[in-house]
Amino acid sequence: MNLVADLLVPLVLILASGKRCAGDSTITLGILYNEENSMLETAFKSSVDVAKAKMTDSGVQLNVVSKIVPLYDSFETQHHVCEMLVDGVSGMFGPSAGDTAPIVQSICDYKEIPHIQTRWDINQKRGSCQINLYPHPNTLAEALIDIIVAVNWESFTIIYENNDSLMQITNILKSPPTSYPIRIRQLSSGPNYRKELREIKDSGETKILLDCSFNILSDVLLQAQQVGLMGSEHNFIIASLDMHTLDLDSFKYSGTKITGMRLVRSLDVEFQNIVSLWTDNLSPLEPDDKTVLPETIQLESALIYDAVQLFTTSIYNLSKEFEINETPTPCNSSLSWKHGFTLINYMKMAKDFKGLTGKIKFDQEGFRTDIELELVELTQNGLRVTGTWSTKTGINVSSTPKPEIVPSEKDSDLRNMSFVVITALTQPYGMLKLSSNTLKGNDRYEGFGIDLIKELSEMSGFNYTFIIQEDASSGYKDEKTKKWSGMIGEVINGQADLAIADISITRQREHDVDFTSPFMNLGISILYKKSTKSSPSLFSFLAPFSSFVWLWVITAYCGVSVLLFIMARISPYEWTNPYPCIEEPEYLENQFSLSNAFWFTIGSLMQQGSDIAPIAVSTRLVAGIWWFFTLIMVSSYTANLAAFLTVESVSEPFKDVEDLVNNQNIITFGLKKRGSTEEYFKESTNPTYKKLFDVLQKNPAWYTSSNDEGVAKVLKENYAFFMESTSIE
C-alpha cells in the first residue's frame, strides 16, 4: 500500500505539471471594420503589440483576425462573424458604424463572446455581452447642460443631424437648462446646409448647440460662416468629442466663441509617448515620412486602443485563476465559450484602469461611468483648455479667454506690404468719384468695394494700388486653353494680387482661386418692365362672388319663388275676392301666380319693391326670411365689389422661367456673356434651365456684354434680363 502511495505522488505532480503546460493557449481577437481606416487599424495593432509584450509571462498568446464588413448588409456581416468564430475568436471589436452592430451583438450574446464597442449604439441591450467604452448620451447631455448653464445662455437653437442625435437632445429637453424657449432644427441630407443655417441667422438667434457627426462638422461650420452665422456676437457649443482634430484656422479670427469637449487629453505627456509609438504600425500605403501626431487622434482610435488594453488585462487576470482554453464556437452549433461571462465580469469590475481616454469604469450593465471631459475653446492661438467636467464634480471652469477680432500690429504679417488690387467700375461696388478737382491714384474711385479695401488696409497696415478691368468681366475659363479671362485671369497671371468687385463664388472659380468669406449671399432674379394694368372684362361685376356662390344664389332664388307660390296656393288667406262689392263672388283670386312669385323675390333681391304683399302668416314668414338673406348677400356683394374696384388688376406676361422659355417668341431674354449667371445655367441639370441655355446658344444676339447694357435693353425693348439679385436691388 505504501508502495502505491509512493508511486502516485510523483504521478500527480507530473500530471499537474503537464496541465500547466497545456494551459499555454492562444486568444484570438476579432475586429470588424466598416471601411479602410488606416488610423483605426494603426491604433488596434499598436495596442495589440503593447498587450503582447505585457503578457509574455502569462502563457497566453494573442492572435488577431480582422474583417471589413459592409455598412448595411446584415447577412454578409453575419457570414463574416461566423467565419471568425470558427477561427476561435474570443473577443469581438466593432463595427464602428452602420446598422450591422445589432446582428454582431446578437451572435456574441448567443455564443457568450465579449463584444466591445467604441461608439454609442442606441440598440445596445442591457445585460448583454457588450461592453461600450463610449460615454452614454445621458452623460454627455448632463455635460452640455452644465456648460450651457455656465455660459449663461438664455434662449438658444439646437441643430442636429439625424435620429442618432435625438436621444442626447431628448435628455437636454427633459431637463432644460433655461426657462427660455429652445428651438430645434434638423439639418438636411446635405451636402448643402445653407438653407437651414440662413433661416437660423434670419431668426436672429446667436447661440447654437451643434450636434452632428464629425464627417460633416467641418462643412457645417464653413457654411455657417458663409451665410454670416459666425460673427463676434455668435456662440457655438459643439457636441462632437472630435472637434479638437478639425482644422479650425478659418474661424480663429471670426470672433465667434466656439466651445467643445474632448475625452482624450492630447497634451498629456503619457498620451504623447504612447501615440508616438503608433508610427511603426502605419499602413504601408501611407507616406514613409508620415508620423502620428497626438492632436490628430480621434476618439474612436483612442477608444479602440483602450478597449484592447482592457480586454487583454482582463484576460491576464483571468488566466491567473483559470485555465483559459480557446474553443471554436461555430454559429451552427449550440456551443458557447465557457469563459465569456466571467471575462465580461472581469472587465466590468476593472479597478484603477487608466487608458488614453482617462479612467475606465463600468456599471453592471456595461455602460461607462466616472467620465471626465476637457473643455476647450477656440482662440486666435488655437484651441485652449478652459476647464473640465466630470460626472462626480460637474463643471470646473479655469478661465474664459475673450476672443479678439483683429490681430495686433506685432502679429500682422501684412504691415507695410504693397498690393495691386483690380476692380471694375460697376455700381455701387466701384465708381469714378465726381469732383471739380483733379484726382489722382486711389482717390479717383469710390464705392462699397473701395471703402472695404480702405478699411482693411487701415486695420492691417498694408498699401494698395487700384487698377481697373475695362470690360468689368469677373472671369471666364476657356474650355480649350484652360485659361481665365477677366479679373480672375489677372490675379492668376500675377498682374494683380487680389480682386474686389461683385464676383460671384462658383465651384469652377473656387477651384482655381481663393475667395474670402462671402460678404453677401445672392440668387438669380429676372429684371423686366413693370407690368401694365389690364382692362376689366365684360363680366368683371361677377368677380366679388365665386361661381359656386352665384350658383347657390340662383338656386335659392328659384327655390324660394316656387315655395312662395306653393304656400300661397295652399293657404286660404291668400285667396281674395276680386270684387269687394259682391259679398258672395263666384270665384276667388290668388295674387301669387308663378310669375308674380318670381317677380316678388327678384324685386327683394334687387332692393326694389312691388305691388304684391303677402297676406298669410306662412307667406309672410317666407318673405321675411328671404329679405334677411338678401340683406346679407347685397351687403357682402357691395363690400367685395368696392375692394375689387380699389385693387389694380395687373397683367403678368410670365410667372416663372418655364413660362418665359415657352413664350420666347413674345418676350426675348438674355444675360451677361461669360458671367457666373451663364455658367450657372450651363452647368445646371434642371431640364428647364438647360432648355433656357440651349435657346440662348441659338440666339447669341440676346446676350449682353455688361449688366448696364442688359438694363438698357429691358427699358427699351420687350426683354427680360437674368441678373444677380443683389445687383438688381
- Which residues sit in the known binding site for L-glutamate? 504, 509, 676-677, 724
DSSP per-residue codes, 678-703: HHHHHH---HHHHHHHHHHHH-GGG-
**Cα 377 to Cα 147: distance, rounded to the nearest angstrom:** 12
Are 578 and 588 contacting, i.e. CB atoms less than 8 angstroms apart?
yes
Q: Which of 570, 605, 239, 232 is nearest to 404 (CA)?
A: 232
For residue 39, give every residue at least 6 positions away whose Cβ sits within 8 Å of its Cβ, in sequence order, or none: 292, 296, 297, 298, 301
Find cell 438669380 and name the residue. 524
Task: Give me the torsion for CA of 333, 336, 337, 338, rounded to 10°.
Answer: -130
- Pairing assessment for the beta strands 182-186 and 394-397 based on DSSP bridges: unpaired
Q: Which of 368, 401, 403, 373 is nearest to 144 (CA)?
A: 373
CA separation, residue 147 to residues 156, 177, 296, 342, 486 (Å): 13, 9, 25, 39, 50
**Cα 491 to Cα 729: distance, rounded to the nearest angstrom:** 28
Residue ranges for the known binding site are 504, 509, 676-677, 724
Task: Give me the torsion for CA of 21, 23, 26, 29, rounded to 10°.
Answer: -160
- Partners of residue 373 on adjacent β-strands: 389
Grid coordinates representing 470? 475695362
The distance from CA 353 to its chain's CA centroid, rounded to whole angstroms, is: 39
**Cα 603 to Cα 263: distance, rounded to the nearest angstrom:** 87
Per-residue buried b or exposed e for 366-403, using 16+ beta carbons within 10 Å of the residue's own CB: bbbeebbbbbbbbbbeebeebbbbbbeeebeeeeeeeb
**Cα 475 to Cα 673: distance, rounded to the nearest angstrom:** 11
Are 714 and 702 contacting, i.e. CB atoms less than 8 angstroms apart?
no
**Cα 82 to Cα 73: distance, rounded to the nearest angstrom:** 15
Distance between terminal CA atoms of the chain?
115
Burial class of residue 491 in the structure, from the number of CB atoms within 10 Å of its CB (0-12 exposed, 13-18 middle, 19+ buried)? buried
Are 32 and 83 contacting, i.e. CB atoms less than 8 angstroms apart?
no
Residue 668: what residue type?
T
Q: Which of 298, 303, 304, 168 is nearest to 242 (CA)?
A: 298
Alpha helices (H) along 322-444:
340-348
**Cα 235 to Cα 208: distance, rounded to the nearest angstrom:** 6
Long-range contacts of 12-19 (CB under 8 A, 24+ apart): 19/323
- Partners of residue 261 on adjacent β-strands: 375
**Cα 309 to Cα 353: distance, rounded to the nearest angstrom:** 9
Q: Return the HEC string of 458-473.
A: HHHCCEEEEEECCCCC
Q: Which of 356, 268, 708, 32 is nearest to 721 (CA)?
A: 708
**Cα 279 to Cα 292: distance, rounded to the nearest angstrom:** 6
